[in-house]
Chains A and B, each alone.
Chain A
């Protein structure tokens, strides 16, 4: 038996580490002891493990990832530390060079021989072990979903995308029905499914995928998800954790807390009395867990009566998006048999307007109402290109009040960049930071409301570029600066500048020229406005 430590560096991320979940399944099948840790496990813990796997994600998390791996290399022999995952695949040589270790594994784990075992298991095809997520207190926002692939790879070869390196071959993978059934059997039902395919519309099996999804309950306009009994799920989970020899004290505490809270929901006198008795029994028992298991059926029976059981729609999320170019009406007809939420489309160039519109219309006509658009910027596009795309998307939603849509501008960085500093040819630092400020206000999304859009991004190219040139504080707290007349002041001073001066101002704001070089009085006047913070403004206003 080996003792296996699975590690994800302590960055914030939305999706759980799927690779580690598969490794957990592999090692548990060999009766190994498995534990998951987010970040740097303390020395006293590390010393207890035989082997450490560190997963990696974004290349711009390079520094924190290297730092985390180093921590483990400090206490464990390098031959027993393995680094894999996305960033490791893209930057393998750099990791090997900086960490001076050899076990940096690129690509998918098609065989356990890559880890030095001789049982030739295709680890990539193993089911996910969700139990490892309970080893950490970190809450993955998207942790409670079914994750699966029906295909791997993407035949397109887009320069800005890493899939061609990560999954070089397009192919179908394992059975959807069996996987979903296995997950439900082991972990209890989960409402939504995340399909991680990179370009599912290429699949010749699309029709089958939809049929399979229907077969496991993902059906459009059908409410059939009835939730799960928390007590049952938790008691089963604790039982599994006991069998793994994992710590389960936190889960037991949470369950007891739930049971106490549940008491308030009970209205019937007899039932309330019976429940109170059960609870008293559990509380007074020397071993609360044994006690809970002893009255397991009673607890489940009572909680089952009162828990929220209204049936809900199950949704499918093609998480990596659907290729608008391949979305024909025929395919849409298949897809309309399942409820997709959100419907993710990419809209990467203004020139693709027709394609995007066609895809949107097709989806809309087949009843899709939740849209999520991905818009690449800072690539070969010009700033105005982004405005045009955002604008045309919003125009498209006009007159369709039932549509819910968000656009996510996604800033391009080369797939092997270890930070997020890249500046596209037609972009500059000031514009990028201004876009960042605008979309930060709304947590990264651009909503479909027209008024909001024009206010935030301007009515046309001229206004848009003007907004991008404004001081960040003005962009962030537009209303406040407007009310105090500063916005008008800035505009007036800005309009006073000629083309050459405006270019100089932008150069200055991008940090490419020093302040000493700015001699023009007009420019100096407008630059003054860039140092006013919201705080200063309020103080000033208070004094007047």
Chain B
């Protein structure tokens, strides 16, 4: 039988890049997780753990260049570098998907649609050379838009990629790193960087460590270890953005009345009555009077697969909404989620991330997970409803017993040793203000009217964002001092 000739056309490349990565912020996730995976892989293969492993992201807006660089071991030889840089969709990480984050091998070119030139630079320790692989983004787009051009995928790649080896400076011989450089990045990226919440979005998305100041982290990590039988630190890497360390922004002020509650999430119990397969650990915290008052980037339950964000703040509501068992309206559920903080830390060999990494591929296993999430939303929503009736000022319509039942169904009072009497105390108001909640206006213009303060805060947030962007934080502080002085004298 003659061998069939199969042609993979050029638009395939377009499909896997543009379509999968239509939001450019995703590329940061892809490159950071590649660095983390590469380090884990090296360690798994016997290398020593690099203690100060980190990824640094540097943005040069003047030259429209982004550099994402790690100080990992890099790829050991020029041959394997070339091979790895030119393969698409074969990550070599399939062996055990609970051990590594990436598994498709296409994330590497996620930056291609958004820049003129995408360069991977590799330096192994004790090597005298630096390997370089450049993908010409502009040529790539030109070829795609040229309707008449033919050619299959490999031909195109061959035309737009160059591989090169350069001699490293002698003093750098012992250094090792891997860097990704995006030159001439597009306006889409510029818009992403200009977003006031860019840093927060990045923090939410990346596989980062918890802030040192967050005491709850110890509990979460040890509980994760005892349930999942693995260290979540494996999926955490220090990242710096323009010199500033990024950490998950939870701190102790995030921990509300309930303290941190855990749900151990498993798949459906099995036929032989053994427990279902472990899916992950859910931790959450909420106030006794569960209200929708959270407007930061952290509200809701953030689902993370191997510590990388899946979906967003409202994902739990979306999951419950699409479940066949009705909880309540979508809007109600998103409001409810604004009253909690938490994460669902997943690592399961039975769940496959969908290519966009916003949820898991639909199958029996993800259905089990969706059922647990729906159940969680049902209990949370019921508690919110119950608490709003119980804490309603003037004419509470729910009794303490009603509240207790709803709470018990959500958190199991006994197992979590919750003192219900303090939890259900009505006269908690006024809510004590956490020190971190002090606004700029309270500091700068403490004697002005509320309206004035409110407007000041809105405006100053924008101004702060601007100064941070041009990296003139000191200037911003000077401005604030000037304003404060002005109002004081007035």
Contacts and interface: CB of A to CB of B under 8 A. Distances in A.
Interface stretch (B122-130, B270-278, B388-396): B270-278
Nearest to B266: A47
A75 interface: yes
Contact of B325 (A44, A70, A247): A70
B264 to A, nearest CB: 8
A43 B412 contact: no
B410 interface: yes
Contact of B268 (A67, A70, A75): A75
A317 to B, nearest CB: 31
A137 B400 CA distance: 13
A134 to B, nearest CB: 15
B169 interface: no
Nearest to A45: B412
B51 interface: no
B372 A71 contact: no
Residue with the highest number of chain B CB atoms closer than 10 Å, among A44, A70, A74, A247? A44
A386 to B, nearest CB: 39
Nearest to B370: A74
Contact of B275 (A47, A51, A79): A47
B259 interface: no
B269 interface: yes
A97 to B, nearest CB: 16
Interface string A40-71: 00111101001100000000000000010011
Given A75-B371, A75-B372, A80-B271, A43 B325 contact: no
A461 B265 CA distance: 65
B379 interface: yes
Contact of A79 (B271, B371, B379): B271
B401 interface: yes
Nearest to B374: A74
Central interface residue in B325, B410, B414, by most chain A CB within 10 Å: B325
B263 A43 contact: yes
B372 A76 contact: no
Q: Which among B263, B266, B409, B410 has the greatest number of chain A C-beta atoms within 10 A? A: B409
Which of A42, A45, A67, A249 counts the most chain B CB atoms within 10 A?
A: A42
A249 B325 CA distance: 33
Interface in B220-273: 263-264, 266, 268-271, 273
B399 to A, nearest CB: 11
Main secondary structure of the interface of B (DSSP, over half): mixed
Nearest to A75: B268
Contacts of B476: none
Contacts of A43: 263, 372, 375-376, 379
Main secondary structure of the interface of A (DSSP, over half): helix
Contacts of B371: 74-75
A77 B376 contact: no
A70 B371 CA distance: 10
A490 to B, nearest CB: 37
Contact of A137 (B268, B376, B405, B415): B405
B271 A42 contact: no
Given A43-B372, A71-B325, A74-B371, A2 B273 contact: yes
Given A2-B273, A42-B379, A42-B410, A77 B268 contact: yes
Nearest to B408: A42
Interface string B355-386: 00000000000001001100110010000000
Interface size bucket, B side?
A: 20 to 34
A75 B371 CA distance: 8
Contacts of B409: 42
Given A44-B412, A47-B275, A137-B405, A80 B376 contact: no
Interface in B53-100: none
Contacts of A70: 325
A67 to B, nearest CB: 7
A74 B269 CA distance: 9
Contacts of B268: 74-77
A127 B375 CA distance: 35
Interface string B408-426: 0110101100000000000
Nearest to B382: A42
Nearest to B275: A47
A77 B364 CA distance: 12
B348 to A, nearest CB: 16
Contact of A42 (B270, B325, B375, B414): B375
B379 to A, nearest CB: 6
A70 B414 CA distance: 27
Contacts of B405: 137
B375 A77 contact: no
A249 B413 CA distance: 12
B273 A80 contact: yes
Nearest to A70: B325
Contacts of A137: 401, 405
A2 B274 CA distance: 11
Interface string A488-526: 000000000000000000000000000000000000000
A42 B412 contact: yes
A69 to B, nearest CB: 12
A53 to B, nearest CB: 14
A44 B263 contact: yes
A461 to B, nearest CB: 46
A47 B274 CA distance: 10
A80 B271 CA distance: 7
Contacts of A50: 269, 273
Contacts of A80: 269, 271, 273
B273 A51 contact: yes
A429 to B, nearest CB: 28
Contacts of A249: 414
Nearest to B261: A44
A398 B263 CA distance: 66
B49 to A, nearest CB: 36
B390 to A, nearest CB: 16
Contacts of A74: 268, 325, 368, 371, 375
Given A42-B412, A247-B414, A77 B270 contact: yes
Nearest to A80: B273
Contacts of B275: 47
A77 B410 contact: no
B356 to A, nearest CB: 26
A43 B271 CA distance: 17
A202 to B, nearest CB: 44
30 contacts: A2-B273, A42-B410, A42-B412, A43-B372, A43-B375, A43-B379, A44-B263, A44-B264, A47-B264, A47-B269, A47-B275, A51-B273, A67-B325, A70-B325, A71-B325, A74-B325, A75-B268, A75-B276, A75-B368, A75-B371, A75-B372, A76-B268, A76-B269, A77-B269, A77-B270, A80-B269, A80-B271, A137-B401, A247-B414, A249-B414
Interface of A: 2, 42-45, 47, 50-51, 67, 70-71, 74-77, 79-80, 137, 247, 249
